[in-house]
């Protein structure tokens, strides 16, 4: 079944390049997304056998993060049908600079989108550090054309920035692989393969200094792609200039892939007896990321960039939760689900706002609740959710992390965490909620809202609302088991 998870989007990607009909290609996109989601759903009821000598396997971490990615991809594929239908293939006027540009061919866009799903599947299910690195780089290459869908100079600049900075991160993580290989080499004349399970089983035999060095390079390298500060600088540009459905996948799924890479390195470091070393680094990067987000979200003029800085904040919270250990690890895993659902929903709604108002400037958007009421209502709900307002799931996961810090008596972290959350809450609320109220400053030509434009984000936000009220027992058990694998409970 793992082969099916990889080959369905992979083959659909190649097929989409051969199909001439745009409508048929869109059906293919949705069909592949449905097929992938159905198989991922089956993974919760039966065990999938590893493939290629164990290089790819669906362990609990893979199951959790791949399920998130698969669900998000399904929702965005529904959204993409209407989006692609409305996009013009010939010259299109840039609403910011009044210049004309063309979009990338839809066939290329759809092929890269499906290949992105195939590569994410390989990253998350990879059990070998070398394969993990290769597939992580592949996600960079297939997502770059997605960012450059609107072929104007801003998206080109954002794409190059994304490629250059993430390539630096990938190069740094390659050094992490080298150091890990040294740490696992020539003990009793036998080297340990770079398989996750082998390294964890032989953790006590690894060279400790090289394990520490490897973790630092993995954290910096994959942290660059995850959006951890201070190497997050590609993220606001890429999220702002991408089509909104691509921004939703970048924020809700791609950042998680990089997080999985860090978790794999964390498991090995913990098995080598250096968990405290890794936790301290994660706490530091987590708080620094939240600090950068708090500084840049205040007074942010571009509402898509505001959402991007919010992603930096939440990636910091994920790192902080794993770093604190204990029940905070459970909170971190739960937070990954809630953030992905909420942020993907918000970016899809941002796409609806952009289509209606033709601007990304928050100051020029007023009266969402009256001009596009369905999207306006979802925008308000999404903003409340992402800022940690009860009863949404993010409130619950942030509270679990806070309580863990209090229980451990780490009051300096508690104070910093609360202050940064409060600043970001005020910053985002002041910008986003103002957009929903009042009357539109400029005349807005709005056709009736199509269900396909607001139902996918509505489903995503309903899911995070439901998780804030009730966490299914089976999901809770899985999150606790993952937490125990990462030194928590």
382-393: per-residue pLDDT in tens? 999 999 999 999
pLDDT at 266 over 90: yes
293-333 pLDDT, tens digit each: 999 998 888 999 999 999 999 999 999 999 999 999 999 99
What is the pLDDT, as a whole number, of residue 204? 84
48-75 pLDDT, tens digit each: 899 988 899 999 999 999 999 999 999 9
pLDDT at 31 over 70: yes
3-18 pLDDT, tens digit each: 999 999 999 999 999 9
Distance CA 21, CA 131 (A): 35
What is the pLDDT, as a whole number, of residue 446? 67
In 3D space, the residue among 159, 82, 78, 77 whose CA is nearest the CA of residue 113 turns out to be 77
The fraction of the chain above a pLDDT of 90, given in percent, is 73
Cα 252 to its chain centre, rounded Å, is: 3
What is the pLDDT, as a whole number, of residue 437? 85
In 3D space, the residue among 208, 397, 429, 175 whose CA is nearest the CA of residue 299 turns out to be 429
140-185 pLDDT, tens digit each: 999 999 999 888 888 899 999 999 999 999 999 999 999 999 998 8
What is the pLDDT, as a whole number, of residue 192? 84
What is the pLDDT, as a whole number, of residue 320? 97
Ranked by mean pLDDT, which of 147-156, 197-206, 270-279 comes out on top?
270-279
End-to-end CA distance of the chain: 30
What is the pLDDT, as a whole number, of residue 149? 86
Q: Which two tokens stand for residue 39?
A: 């198989």
In 3D space, the residue among 47, 164, 154 whose CA is nearest the CA of residue 96 turns out to be 154
In 3D space, the residue among 83, 78, 110, 116 whose CA is nearest the CA of residue 459 turns out to be 78
User: What's the average model confidence in pLDDT over 269-279?
Assistant: 94
438-473 pLDDT, tens digit each: 777 666 766 678 888 899 999 999 999 999 999 999
Contact 166, 224 (CB under 8 A): yes
Count CB atoms within 10 A of the CB of residue 447.
8
Average pLDDT of the residues of the chain: 91
Tell me, letter by letter, the H, E, C secondary structure of the chain.
CHHHHHHHHHHHHHHHHHCCCHHHHHHHHHHHHHHHHHHHHHCCCCCCCCECCCCECCCHHHHHHHHHHHHHHHHHHHHHHHHHHHCCCCCEECCCCCCEEEECCHHHHHHHHHHHHHHHHHHHHECEHHHHHHHHHHHHHHHHHHHCCEECHHHHHHHHHHHHHHHHHHHHHHHHHHHHHHHCCCECCECCCCEHHHHHHCHHHCCHHHHHHHHHHHHHHHHHHHCCCCCCCHHHHHHHHCCHHHHHHHHHHHHHHHHHHHHHHHHHHHHCCCHHHHHHHHHHHHHHHHHHHHHHHCCCCEHHHHHHHHHHHHHHHHHHHHHHCEHHHHHHHHHHHHHHHHHHHHHHHHHHHHHHHCCCEHHHCCCHHHHCHHHHHHHHHHHHHHCCCCCCHHHHHHHHHHHHHHHCCCHHHHHHHHHHHHHHHHHHHHHHHHHHCCCCCCCCCCCCCCHHHHHHHHHHHHHHHHHHHCCCHHHHHHHHHHHHHCCEC
Q: Which two tokens stand for residue 25?
A: 């290609």
Residues contacting residue 74 through CB under 8 Å, at least 6 positions apart: 33, 34, 36, 37
What is the pLDDT, as a whole number, of residue 211? 94
The fraction of the chain above a pLDDT of 70, given in percent, is 97
Sheet containing 150-151: give its strands across: 92-93, 100-103, 150-151
Grade residue 188 by pLDDT with cuts at 50, 70 and 90.
Answer: low
Residues contacting residue 385 through CB under 8 Å, at least 6 positions apart: 338, 342, 392, 393, 394, 461, 464, 465
Across-strand partners of 187?
Answer: 190
318-376 pLDDT, tens digit each: 999 999 999 999 999 999 999 999 999 999 999 999 988 888 888 888 888 888 999 99
Task: Count CA atoms within 13 Å of residue 354 on its CB side.
Answer: 23
389-420 pLDDT, tens digit each: 999 999 999 999 999 999 999 999 999 999 99
Distance CA 55, CA 482 (A): 20
């Amino acid at each position: 079944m793992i082969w099916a998870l990889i080959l369905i989007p992979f083959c659909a990607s190649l097929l989409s390049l051969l199909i001439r009909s745009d409508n048929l290609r869109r059906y293919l996109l949705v069909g592949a997304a449905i097929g992938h989601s159905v198989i991922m759903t089956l993974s919760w009821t039966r065990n999938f056998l590893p493939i290629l000598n164990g290089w790819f396997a669906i362990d609990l971490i893979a199951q959790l993060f791949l399920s998130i990615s698969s669900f998000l991809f399904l929702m965005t594929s529904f959204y993409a049908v209407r989006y692609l239908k409305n996009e013009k293939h010939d010259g299109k006027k840039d609403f910011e600079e009044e210049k004309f540009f063309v979009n990338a061919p839809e066939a290329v866009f759809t092929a890269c989108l499906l290949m992105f799903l195939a590569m994410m599947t390989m990253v998350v299910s990879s059990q070998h550090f070398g394969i993990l690195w290769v597939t992580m780089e592949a996600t960079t290459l297939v997502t770059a054309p997605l960012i450059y869908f609107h072929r104007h100079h801003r998206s080109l600049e954002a794409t190059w920035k994304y490629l250059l900075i993430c390539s630096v991160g990938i190069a740094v993580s390659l050094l992490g692989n080298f150091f890990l290989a040294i740490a696992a080499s020539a003990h009793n004349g036998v080297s340990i393969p770079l398989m996750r399970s082998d390294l964890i089983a032989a953790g006590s035999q690894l060279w400790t200094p090289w394990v520490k060095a490897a973790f630092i390079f993995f954290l910096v390298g994959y942290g660059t792609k995850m959006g951890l500060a201070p190497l997050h600088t590609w993220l606001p540009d890429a999220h702002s200039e991408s089509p909104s459905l691509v921004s939703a996948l970048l924020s809700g799924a791609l950042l998680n892939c990089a997080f999985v890479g860090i978790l794999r390195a964390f498991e090995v470091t913990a098995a080598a007896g250096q968990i405290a070393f890794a936790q301290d680094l994660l706490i530091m990067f987590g708080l620094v990321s939240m600090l950068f987000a708090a500084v840049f979200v205040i007074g942010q003029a571009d509402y898509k960039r505001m959402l991007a800085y919010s992603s930096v904040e939440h990636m910091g919270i994920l790192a902080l939760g794993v770093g604190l250990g204990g029940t905070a690890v459970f909170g971190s895993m739960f937070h990954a689900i809630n953030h992905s659902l909420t942020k993907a929903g918000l970016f899809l709604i941002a796409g609806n706002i952009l289509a209606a108002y033709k601007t990304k400037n928050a100051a020029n958007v007023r009266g969402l609740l009256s001009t596009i009421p369905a999207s306006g209502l979802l925008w308000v709900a999404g903003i409340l959710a992402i800022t940690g307002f009860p009863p949404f799931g993010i409130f619950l996961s942030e509270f679990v992390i806070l309580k863990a810090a209090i229980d451990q008596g780490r009051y300096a972290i508690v104070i910093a965490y609360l202050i940064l959350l409060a600043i970001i809450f005020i910053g985002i609320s002041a910008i986003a909620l103002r957009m929903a109220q009042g009357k539109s400053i400029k005349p807005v030509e709005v056709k009736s809202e199509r269900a396909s434009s607001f139902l996918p984000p509505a489903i995503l936000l309903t899911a995070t609302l439901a998780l804030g009220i009730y966490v299914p027992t089976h999901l809770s058990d899985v999150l606790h088991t993952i937490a125990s694998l990462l030194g928590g409970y």
